[in-house]
Amino acid sequence: MARTVPAATHPPVDDRVQGVSGLYIERLDLELAKAIMDTCEPKTLGVMAPVRQFAHMYGYVRELSRQTSVIGWDEDHRLSRLVAISRLVHPTSAGFRSAARVRQDDDSLRIVPAEIHGLALDTFLSPTHKRDWS
């Protein structure tokens, strides 16, 4: 049996939740979030893209300097460790399916999907959990 927990008692992430230096959790601008999910979605020639049946709730973010290359992702594993630690604090189904490096300037946006090998892109919660982080 599915259970629902009222949003009033467990509201979604609205403000930035500061982690350690340069790492945080926050709700992204919806257009940016959609662009990241669209870019990271697997594509197959001749097959219609699936209809997304979920919305962006929050993202794990790491701010990098402007000099950092847009190619590469989390080489020192600081961001992936934040995700792992947050799962210990509060179980979450947040995975790495939409992981990307983003460079946004006034007039351009570049999104490069993360090339992640050796760990699961998706995670799952026990059906007995009443609420995901969302």
For residue 69, give both structure tokens.
Answer: 């290359």
Nearest 5°: phi and psi at 38? -65, -40
In order of 20, 61, 72, 127, the CA distances from 55 in angstroms are 26, 17, 26, 20
What pLDDT was estimated at residue 110?
92
pTM of the model: 0.76
Instruction: Indicate the number of domains in the chain.
Output: 1
What pLDDT was estimated at residue 111?
93
What pLDDT was estimated at residue 13?
66
Each residue's pLDDT expressed in tens, for the chain with a length of 134 residues: 444 445 556 566 667 777 778 898 888 888 999 999 888 887 777 777 777 777 778 888 998 888 888 888 888 889 888 888 888 877 877 888 889 999 988 888 999 999 887 667 777 777 777 666 65
Contacts 24+ apart (CB under 8 A), 8-13: 10/131, 12/57, 12/58, 12/134, 13/57, 13/58, 13/133, 13/134
For residue 6, give both structure tokens.
Answer: 């009222």
Alpha carbon distance 71, 56 (integer Å): 24
**Domain residues for 68?**
1-43+51-134
In order of 35, 36, 48, 123, the CA distances from 43 in angstroms are 14, 14, 9, 21
What pLDDT was estimated at residue 118?
66
Residue with tokens 């000099």: 67
Alpha carbon distance 103, 4 (integer Å): 37
